[in-house]
Amino acid sequence: MCQLLGLNCATPTDASFSFTGFCDRGGRTDHHADGWGIAFFEGKGLRLFIDHRSAHDSPMAAFLQGYPLKSRNIIAHVRKATIGEVALENAHPFVRELWGRQWVFAHNGDLKDYAPNLHSHFRPVGTTDSERAFCWLMQELAKSHAGLPSVDELTRTLRELVPQVRRFGTFNFLLSNGEALWAHCSTKLHWLVRQHPFSQATLKDRDWTVNFADLNQPGDRAAVIVTTPLTSNEVWTAFEPEELKVFVDGLPVG
């Protein structure tokens, strides 16, 4: 299946370290070679990069590993295609607008025979079950709230909606609107918080160690969410099955 990476931070944070180790799983150290993508917010703006090639072979991915990916909310994905051909329109993350905000979504898993009723405003461009699920979530959020609700209200609504998708199969996903990052685990997802006092971290997929104390200030903080732990010397916490967590300012809040 695919793999997910998300960062939710208190201040704009450089994600190059995590993104580089994650990209290695897109065809070098693992078999998720059917496309990749990353989306990161800059204020209300959003930068989105996707490619149908493997992250390991993509010149765009190589460029971004050296680009200062500073953001408070980042979602990345490496794909192992199961439903939907290998094509640019099927590369995650997917993006839609709702209530004047960009929403970003990436999914890991299979949803069998999933064909929700969708109205004209939210329609898939590609052929994945993932994009159909995202469109349905956006549609139902829009029906449930007249305007942009609080993070707590959004979380309560998502807790009602997610089981309606989960019954069709595996539904690990990351979702962000630039204010918060929601993460749902069906089968496998891990998280940690990097904060003061910062320590060293060593990637599992590449020989690279970083001392975060040299790169961060005391007020910096980043929650990292990933399918399989990226580092060998940090303490990662596994999500419980069917757990939905929301992260704000680099901390889990629900």
Residues labelled as active-site residues: 2
Cβ proximity of 77 and 36 under 8 Å: yes
- Is the sign of the CA dihedral 58, 92, 66, 44 positive or negative? positive
CA–CA dist 81, 2 (Å, integer): 8
Rounded Cα–Cα distance for residues 194 and 218 (Å): 11
Beta strand pairing call for 3-14 and 221-226: antiparallel
Q: Which residues pair with 214 in a beta bridge?
A: none
Q: Are 201 and 186 in contact (CB under 8 A)?
A: no
Beta bridge partners of 98: 101
